[in-house]
Structure formats: C-alpha cells, structure tokens
Amino acid sequence: MTSTPDARPPAELQIQVHPDLAPELDLQLLREQVAAIVKAEPSVIRSKTDEGEDEGRYLNFAFKTSDRARLWRTLEAQLYGHPQLGALLRQSSMALCTGDDDWDDYLVLWHFNPDIEPDGVDEP
C-alpha cells in the first residue's frame, strides 16, 4: 500500500554511503535498518540496494516513493538520527532526491562535505 498525497509523479530518493570514510560503520546494521524502514514506510513503492567500487567502496540505497518529504523525514529520523549509525552516516554519506523535473533539478538532502548545503524537501 502506498500513499499519494499530491499529484506529483513518484520521486526517487538515493542514499550513497562511502564506508571508507567511516570504517567503524556497521553495514549489516545499516542494511537491517533500511529493510525495516522499507517494510514499514507506506510511501516506499520499491527499493533496491547495490554496492561496488569506484575510486573507493560505495553502498547505494535507492527508493521510489510516492511522498519524498515523508520518506526523507523517516530516513532522516531513523538512519541519520540513529544512536549507532547517525554520526557515522553523517560523515560518510550523501542523500539525493529527484525534483519536479526528475534528475534535472535534483535536491541534495544531506552531504558528508559540510561545504555543500542541503536543500529542503518541500511539503506538498
């Protein structure tokens, strides 16, 4: 079941984690937390995870969502606010979301580089 609060098409939200920036990050716990969010959050239409190596290790979590603001609030609270994962994710990840024109006007929701200021996710 998915929620559809407005007439916007589904958005894509991605979190990319760079484990080399936070070697003590518990990737298994992170995967478990993401799986629990996907299972419980009604705005998630589908999700996928992939990992690889491209000038360093990465782990991508991608979500198709009917409500980007709602999903971001959930991810921010349950991942970035997590007592074990939060600080390590803040130093090793970036979160991006499609805008109204897909990836042509994407939003930066979080970035490990403090010089990159996050965009806000507008409410419907």
The CATH number of 11-111, from 3.40.50, 3.30.300, 2.40.50, 3.30.70, is 3.30.70
pTM above 0.85, yes or no: yes
Write down the pLDDT at residue 124: 47
Write down the pLDDT at residue 34: 97
Long-range CB contacts for residues 99-106, cutoff 8 Å, separation at least 24: 100/8, 103/12
* Domain regions of the chain by residue span: 11-111
pLDDT, block means (10 residues), the chain with 124 residues: 57 95 97 97 96 93 94 96 97 90 84 92 63
CB 65 within 8 A of CB 75: no
The residues near 53 (Cβ < 8 Å, ≥ 6 apart) are none
Write down the pLDDT at residue 91: 96
CB burial class (10 A; 0-12, 13-18, 19+) of residue 7?
exposed
Q: Which phi and psi (to 5°) does residue 11 adopt?
A: -105, 165
